[in-house]
Structure 1
Amino acid sequence: MPATEPPLPAPPRPPRRPANDIGLYDELAEQWWRPRGVFATLHWLARARGALVPPATRRDAVLVDLACGGGLLAPHVAGKGYRHVGVDLTASALHRASAHGVLAVRGDVLAVPLASGCADVVVAGEVLEHVPDLAGAVAEACRLLRPGGVLVLDTLADTALARFVTVTVGERVPGGPPPGVHDPALFVNRDRLVRECARHGVRLRLRGLRPSLVDLARWLAGRVEHVRMVPTRFTTVLFQGRGVKEPS
């Protein structure tokens, strides 16, 4: 009988990234500006976030976009009169943000390399649920604001429902976040967030946010490229915050 060769070993499984691993954004760098790619939800949120940014009231006004990623906010604040400064840790994302008119600054949201009081608006979109030090991130965002400046944010609530919707379900459906992008242990306690902002002179008002179910169904069917995010009084999953910094 002819000798039989031993079966080849199975190829090794690719290592699963730890939850909230920033290296994921380099791996997915080509996805930033694809409206039906893995960052689709971020496009929808960027439009909703931009709607909370008021027009500039002075010349040389500055908007600081914390964790700007690929610059998805840019088209939604263009024409409002701001110099759009984007801060992010990922060089590949900043490269794409620059291509869309954002002045890119590489830095950590816990130690932003910009002067105190430099910003008329600070935007912190979908970042607070990724940082290990909520108080530090809030302090930096508020430090950057000049008196009368506006803080705009959106993030995920520290609730069982948010964990189920965004991780258990959301990371497994089209348009949802990439698997492993979130660490539910970092989801944001709403009361604590409001208190931390108040400590730095910003009275934050919250409202819930969800996708339009009609738009979502049409998007899943390939009939539209964008899903509207609509406000809701329920802040138990995804929510927005907006506040003004009081004079010192």
Structure 2
Amino acid sequence: MIRRLMAWLRPPVESTPPAPAAVSPRDIGLVDATLDGWFNNATGELLKGFAIGANDTLLDVGCGEGVATLFGMRQGASVIFTDSEYDKVRDLARQVGRHARSTATPFLGLVSNSLPLPLADGCADKIVCMEVLEHVDQPAPFMAELVRMGRPGAQYLLSVPAPVGERLQQGIAPPAYFQAPNHVQVFDAEQFAALVEDAGLVIEHRQASGFFWVMGMIFFWASERAAGRILEGAVRDRIQAPYPPLMQSWASAWQALLSQPDGLAIKQVLDGFMPKSQVIIARKPDPCAEAPS
């Protein structure tokens, strides 16, 4: 009886709620990108205004992990992908090959620094070169190669880091981030547009976004410095799971912001204030289409 009374008087033991699952910066970055018009499977648009179809041949220069290539394959396009790093091309070729075996979609992977590209003139309808030009010592000849690859009327999707985010990181990132094989060029909006137009392309659309990733990179650098790690090689290969706690906390905060009623409007203001990337969609002139009937 006494034992039952003591048990009744003893305060209940509260179970500790499970810790919330860590939020992946890459997953939140993907959500953020789709809000900007990227990766619309329903319309086949890699970015709004840049649709890829089954009749297209997509050339992805500096393919990296192959986000654009894999999107194009899902739309039924033939794909050509290139990178200067063998491992990147090999790993992407394995993924593309598995898809191609079930769909009989043609593909070609090449290891190349793109000066020159070992491809025939006019081999592609859609050319993608994202976050590559900032790594290139000679961007004008590189752009000329991209233009050579496009058929008349071909469409181009090009992106480079925005200058405001780069200049902010110059005060935080180690000097190696602005040396080869990392960023050796910083383009302001006018320089980027001039590079595209001087190569002979006509600009159709421009946008800038990615505040989430500017802040994410700041937290990455802070974590690297706190851990005493020395930067070597390509930075993009270092930003992988498991992510530093600071980056995961930032991803959780950004996820919470986007879930607010005014979250998208706030995101758009911040993107305009401090974007990570600037994007140009351009087209190669087609003399036949422009000729009077």
Same fold (TM over 0.5): yes
Match of 2:86 among 76, 88, 91: 91
Which structure features the higher share of helix residues?
2
Residues 4-45 of structure 1, C-alpha deviations (whole Å, 9 max, x = no match): xxxxxxxxxxxxxxxxxxxxxxxxxxxxxxx959xx59x749
Contact (CA 8 Å) 2:58, 2:69: kept in 1 or not?
Answer: no
Which one has the largest radius of gyration? 2
- Residue 145 of structure 1 deviates from its aligned partner by 0.9
Match of 2:113 among 100, 108, 113: 108
User: What letter is aligned with 2:90?
Assistant: H
Distance, in Å, in 1 between the alignment partners of 2:187 and 2:251 is 34
What residue number does 1:247 align with? 286
What residue number does 2:13 align with? none
Count, aligned residues: 198
Distance, in Å, in 2 between the alignment partners of 1:220 and 1:163 is 22
Match of 1:163 among 166, 171, 180: 166
Structure 1 runs of 4+ aligned residues shifted over 3 Å read 43-49, 164-169, 179-185, 216-219, 221-224, 226-237
- Residue 115 of structure 1 deviates from its aligned partner by 1.1
More displaced stretch, 63-72 vs 46-55: 46-55
Secondary structure of the residue that 2:192 maps to in structure 1? helix
User: What letter is aligned with 2:76?
Assistant: G
User: What letter is aligned with 1:209?
Assistant: S
- Residue 105 of structure 1 deviates from its aligned partner by 0.7
Contact (CA 8 Å) 2:137, 2:184: kept in 1 or not?
Answer: no
What residue number does 1:201 align with? 200
Q: 1:197 to 1:99 in 2, by over 3 A?
A: same
User: What letter is aligned with 2:133?
Assistant: L
Q: TM-score, normalised by structure 2?
A: 0.55
Distance, in Å, in 1 between the alignment partners of 2:129 and 2:189 is 15
Write the mapping of 1:33-182 to structure 2, written as runs, cut at 5 A: 40=26, 44=30, 48=38, 50-52=46-48, 53-56=50-53, 59=55, 61-101=56-96, 103-157=108-162, 159=163, 161-169=164-172, 171=173, 180-182=176-178
Contact (CA 8 Å) 1:46, 1:76: kept in 2 or not?
Answer: no
Q: TM-score, normalised by structure 1?
A: 0.64
Distance, in Å, in 2 between the alignment partners of 1:68 and 1:208 is 21
Secondary structure of the residue that 1:73 maps to in structure 2? helix
Percentage of matched positions with identical amino acids: 19
Distance, in Å, in 1 between the alignment partners of 2:149 and 2:156 is 10
Unpaired runs of 5+ residues, structure 2, are: 1-22, 40-45, 97-106, 220-245, 259-263, 288-293
